Structure 1
Amino acid sequence: MNYQHPSSKFTMPTEQLASREATAERSKKLAPDCAGSNFFEMDHNLQALLLQYIDGALLDHIRPHLDSLGELCGNELHDLADASERHPPVLRQRDRYGRDDETVEYHPAYQRMEEIAYARYGIHAMSYRPGVLGWPTKLPPIVKYVFQYIFSQTEFGLMCPVNIAGSSSELIRRYGSDEVRTRFVDRMLSQDMNQLYRAAQFMTEKAGGSDVGAAELVAARDGENWRLWGEKWFCSNVSGDVVVVLARPEGAQAGGKGLGLFAMPKHLADGTRNAYRVVRIKDKLGSKSMASGEVRLEGAVAYQLGDLNRGLKQMLEMVNSSRVSHLARAAGMMRRCLNEALVATRNRNAFGKSVIDHPLMRRQLLKLMVPTEQALSALLFTASVSANEDQPDAQKILRIMTPICKYRACRDNVTVATGSMEARGGNGYIEDWPNAKLVRDAHLGVLWDGTSNINALDAIHRSIKKEQAHLVLQQDLETRLKRAEGLPGQFRTRLENGVRQAFAFAAEVAAEPDNERFCRLAAGQLYHAVTMVLLAEEGLRAAATGGDARRLLLARFVLEHRLQNNAPLNIASLKWEEAAIDLLLDDGPISLDRATTLLVA
């Protein structure tokens, strides 16, 4: 897209230089943003990869829906998200008669976004019940995550309750009594806004955030049910109708093994409010559209889910879904940030030429592109594996992929969002433009569902040391490289060595507790090794059918600048990059011959 006005000069009498006409003429020198675009249509990389990851009949069925969502994201949803950000939810403690009610009031723009996500597309339900979007069976997880990826390019906050809806309904379906399942599950997955039960999860307490085992909320037996007493400190979607919550039954042991899992309704069966109060709405840095709050529980009725001593383990069964959702959101936001940077630099002139034509800016744009494409490959691969999570090998791969992706992709999102803001310049720092919101929301991704440290520790100390999950993943990558026909032998060897070194280092870090300080480095190396192989394989597959081989070049950038990050500092060794950057910043397809030549240049 190039909106740059063809003439950068205009002639006008001096006394008219401050006129409205003159002001409007000078404004043509400002670069636009992506508003008005179709976010699916402009995402050529996603469209090409869907051919590799989704069955043809299913892809043909969902493509019109992806296209319509992409159109909404650049137009109506874009405006709704902006309005919701400027008009965050408000807590009304009492009604006009002085009755305690704690009502969270949402702006009409947010309510309309809910209609799009829940009613029109059924993103919350599509992989949990048949019939969504007219598909006769449950849609595979990859479809849900692709919709989240596109939606998140415009609105990040709402995807939290949307994803919670599916995972919470699944916990109730698995572990709730027949009565509890009948009461809640169907309505949690409804696309009728008048019937829908919105879901929430209240986990964090003052005593512990990532350390969930330190929770102090008490569950006291009350006949067949339970009553909850205490506080929850961070409550996502605090106005939800059905809340999944962890609490410690009276007399239970300390730590995570003493926690039970419960479903707590906002309203009791007779329509009265349950005994908990929303104390306040958090004044968050980002994700302002979605209400996060603090809650005081004063004997709230709750229903037991599963075994009382397995509450945390049951909750963690949904951690894969949650982490892949975070990966989808990070990948989508990075795509938006990259697109914003490209539009800004293609349509802004400086020092006599377009900003994108300056060599240093071209290199910086590649530093935004590489992690963006890594995240997309990681998302589609991990989401595909999710469809087979009942199989042992898939379980192992998910066990290690989800924490390393949550760690690295969410951190990359912060860097890419910041780089995109810088590419736009001063306007990127102004709330009239999309970059400020993207930067704020990116920072939340590294906090939700475990910080960077928590995810890195989970990947190295648990999935590798305790469960040996890395062995299955490494074997999978090595198999992919062996069958990669058309890959130059010299480059294949470099990829194989990169994989071997990354996994050996991670295993070495996992072997000794004293190596904990290297967990983040090891987790990042694993992420880069995986995405490097995926990019190479995807590039070869595309080229085999006459498509674009650009992902092969991206694989080399990952190898040399992210996995090894020790390329020799001499110009001759970096000469190949100039030609590669020119090809990657052009929208035209890259031939296999051209790509493979540069792989060994």
Structure 2
Amino acid sequence: MPEFATHEVFNQPGPLVDVNLFETHRALQDALRFNAPELDPAPLRELGALAGSAEMQTHARLANVHTPELRTHDRFGHRLDEVEFHPSYHALMAAAVRAGLHGAPWGTSASGAHVLRAAGFMLFTGLEPSILCPISMSYAVTPALRANAAVYADWAPKLTSRSYDPLLKPFTEKPGVTMGMGMTEKQGGSDVRSNSTRAVADGSDGWGPRFRVTGHKWFFSAPMCDAFLILANTPAGLSCLFLPRVLPDGSRNALRIQRLKDKLGNKANASSEVEFQEATAWLVGEEGRGVPKILEMGTLTRLDCALGTSGLMRQALALALDHTRQRMAFGKRLIEQPLMRNVLADLALESEAATALALRLARGYDKRGDAHEAAIARLLTPISKFWICKRGSAFAQEAMECLGGNGYVEEGGEGVMARIYREMPVNSIWEGAGNIMALDLLRALRSGDAGAALAHELAAARGAHPALDRLASSLPARVEEMATEVEARRLAQEVALAVQAALLAQTAPPAVVDAFCASRLDGDWGQAFGTLSGRTDFDAILLRALPR
């Protein structure tokens, strides 16, 4: 009998590796020029090469395969309360810290620092999103931490340092530190007013009023951070407290890690349940005003939710485009098949619109001294968090379908798509789910200056497309009609689409603007991706989005 080569491999696309994620992301480059034209893109080009490298993608895979493990005690029975990570996790953390994603904007007065960091955060998300949880919290903590001047003076230089040290030891012995936060409890979730954790006064020292904290946190992400902002009930009410893992005298604080969460995605990051057994903490801000104080941190992590989902969208799109350029089916490359072109172009529109909106929001945090920019940050934070993150899961599912069965497996390069799909829901849920964001939009619109800021943003794109002009003209009345809780999600969608269209009109080529406005604003679209009009300029949209 003749021998047959039954295992010859052909028509299997190669992995998307050793590609510069910045140089091939044209939508991000144009959004950067629009929001911060003064920026030197060299750091992003360097980070893009690193994030797209085969070496770092291997670290990302290993950090997700070899997930964190809890060590509550050592072999002699002493409490440890430590989480053990694979070396690849630490390699990724070190790379993110070197890139300044955890705090660089706070250590410089350079223009556009938050936009630069936002673009870098997007690029790194394309490599590995889950380790960015402690990176994001470390970035977001500074505005709130400033309310305790003594703690801030001691910790701020370490929070902006580009050195990563994973060991639990006194902050004075570390070149750099990370910080997290603990808000939610098992009985309340987003309703933090129902928190039961209590804090008893314990004198005062160089860091101000000191407390002993007893209670728990139901979601306590990144428990190996060096310190946390938490909420606890003091005699004056719910207060914001600074709680370090290692106390100034070198002893371990009484923070007990009960277990790690077994999550759908976000696998490389350790999320935990913890208990405080008279743990030591210091007051941050005014006693009894803990919620608004810790939400200064939450506002910036919401920015990162929008940035992170935008980065995941781009990487999912890049994987889908790269696969379909290589894979043959029915006599053509997949990307040449008319219906696949419709799907890919539709995904490209969604990705570019998310990138434009998220980076515009970051500019608002760069210029908080400007009244208009402050109002824009207040307005765009909830709608960006709501709309971009809400679109993420459907986007990832469609991108995965472009790879067929290969996209559904957890192996090799295709496994990145499965990891992206599992990661997508977390940014929508974390730091306030969809309803919380929609209600926050209503509060922003009732503040008085947000409506005028929105009108100003849309005016810059007047005349770009008839559908955008109609929506912009009708939005003031729509805001009045729909400014009720029951229609808050619908209003958030309309505001988000209007702002996305206005931004694309100023940053994207005509083919992208026309297709986005016709589909998203003018109703020439179905209820799934891949339902663009046959009149769409697919060639121009796809050429712009190609990853290499």
TM-score of the aligned structures, taking structure 2 as reference length: 0.91
Query: Aligned runs of 1:190-589 on 2, under 5 Å?
Result: 190-194=161-165, 195=174, 196-224=176-204, 225-250=210-235, 252=236, 258-432=237-411, 433=414, 434-460=416-442, 462-467=443-448, 469-478=450-459, 480-482=460-462, 487=464, 491=465, 493-510=466-483, 513=484, 516-539=485-508, 549=509, 552-565=510-523, 574-577=533-536, 580-587=537-544
Report % sequence identity.
Answer: 31
SS across alignment from 2:183: strand
- From the CA coordinates, give the structure whose radius of gyration is larger: 1
Shift of the 99–139 alpha-carbon distance from structure 1 to 2, 3 Å rule, reads farther
TM-superposed deviation, 1:317: 2.3
Shift of the 14–392 alpha-carbon distance from structure 1 to 2, 3 Å rule, reads farther
The one-character-per-residue Cα deviations of 1:59-78 (angstroms, maximum 9, x if unpaired) are 2xxx3321221122122221
TM-superposed deviation, 1:392: 2.2
Quote the Cα distance in structure 1 between the aligned partners of 2:26 and 2:160. 32
The aligned counterpart of 1:121 is: 99
Matched, 1:101 2:70: no
The one-character-per-residue Cα deviations of 1:28-47 (angstroms, maximum 9, x if unpaired) are 31123322322112212222
TM-superposed deviation, 1:371: 1.2
Shift of the 366–265 alpha-carbon distance from structure 1 to 2, 3 Å rule, reads same
SS across alignment from 1:313: helix
Q: 1:565 is aligned with what amino acid?
A: G
Shift of the 33–419 alpha-carbon distance from structure 1 to 2, 3 Å rule, reads farther
The aligned counterpart of 1:15 is: 3
Quote the Cα distance in structure 2 between the aligned partners of 1:398 and 1:305. 24
Quote the Cα distance in structure 2 between the aligned partners of 1:556 and 1:415. 23
Q: 1:558 is aligned with what amino acid?
A: F
278-287 or 185-194, which deviates more: 185-194
Shift of the 394–148 alpha-carbon distance from structure 1 to 2, 3 Å rule, reads same
SS across alignment from 2:105: coil
The one-character-per-residue Cα deviations of 1:216-245 (angstroms, maximum 9, x if unpaired) are 111111112101111100011111111111
Quote the Cα distance in structure 2 between the aligned partners of 1:137 and 1:77. 29
The one-character-per-residue Cα deviations of 1:505-549 (angstroms, maximum 9, x if unpaired) are 233111xx4xx232111101110000101111223xxxxxxxxx2
The aligned counterpart of 1:37 is: 19
TM-superposed deviation, 1:192: 2.6
The one-character-per-residue Cα deviations of 1:470-509 (angstroms, maximum 9, x if unpaired) are 232123311x034x7xx5xxx3x43211222344323311
The aligned counterpart of 2:157 is: 186
Quote the Cα distance in structure 2 between the aligned partners of 1:422 and 1:380. 28
CA contact (8 A) 1:532 1:556 kept: no
The one-character-per-residue Cα deviations of 1:453-474 (angstroms, maximum 9, x if unpaired) are 11112112x1113445123212
CA contact (8 A) 1:123 1:162 kept: yes
CA contact (8 A) 2:130 2:266 kept: yes
The one-character-per-residue Cα deviations of 1:171-203 (angstroms, maximum 9, x if unpaired) are 22x21142x223322222222334222211111
Among residues 145, 150, 164, which one is paired with 2:118 in the alignment?
Answer: 145
Quote the Cα distance in structure 2 between the aligned partners of 1:475 and 1:144. 26
Quote the Cα distance in structure 1 between the aligned partners of 2:348 and 2:94. 32
Quote the Cα distance in structure 1 between the aligned partners of 2:417 and 2:2. 35
| Higher relative contact order, structure no. (Cα contacts within 8 Å, ≥ 6 residues apart) | 2
The one-character-per-residue Cα deviations of 1:271-317 (angstroms, maximum 9, x if unpaired) are 11111201111111111111110000111000001101221112222
CA contact (8 A) 1:382 1:401 kept: yes
Among residues 148, 161, 170, which one is paired with 1:176 in the alignment?
Answer: 148
TM-superposed deviation, 1:15: 0.9
Q: 2:218 is aligned with what amino acid?
A: W
Shift of the 283–175 alpha-carbon distance from structure 1 to 2, 3 Å rule, reads same
Quote the Cα distance in structure 1 between the aligned partners of 2:526 and 2:64. 46
Shift of the 354–270 alpha-carbon distance from structure 1 to 2, 3 Å rule, reads same
The aligned counterpart of 2:140 is: 167
Shift of the 473–100 alpha-carbon distance from structure 1 to 2, 3 Å rule, reads same
Quote the Cα distance in structure 2 between the aligned partners of 1:323 and 1:465. 20
SS across alignment from 1:152: helix
Shift of the 139–107 alpha-carbon distance from structure 1 to 2, 3 Å rule, reads farther
CA contact (8 A) 2:73 2:80 kept: yes
Q: 1:447 is aligned with what amino acid?
A: I
CA contact (8 A) 1:127 1:138 kept: no
Flag structure 1 segments of 5+ consecutive residues without an equivalent.
Answer: 1-12, 131-135, 253-257, 540-548, 590-601
Matched, 1:155 2:114: no
Shift of the 360–566 alpha-carbon distance from structure 1 to 2, 3 Å rule, reads closer
TM-superposed deviation, 1:248: 1.1
TM-superposed deviation, 1:567: 6.0
CA contact (8 A) 1:528 1:558 kept: no
Quote the Cα distance in structure 2 between the aligned partners of 1:139 and 1:51. 11
The one-character-per-residue Cα deviations of 1:64-104 (angstroms, maximum 9, x if unpaired) are 32122112212222111110000111111111211111111
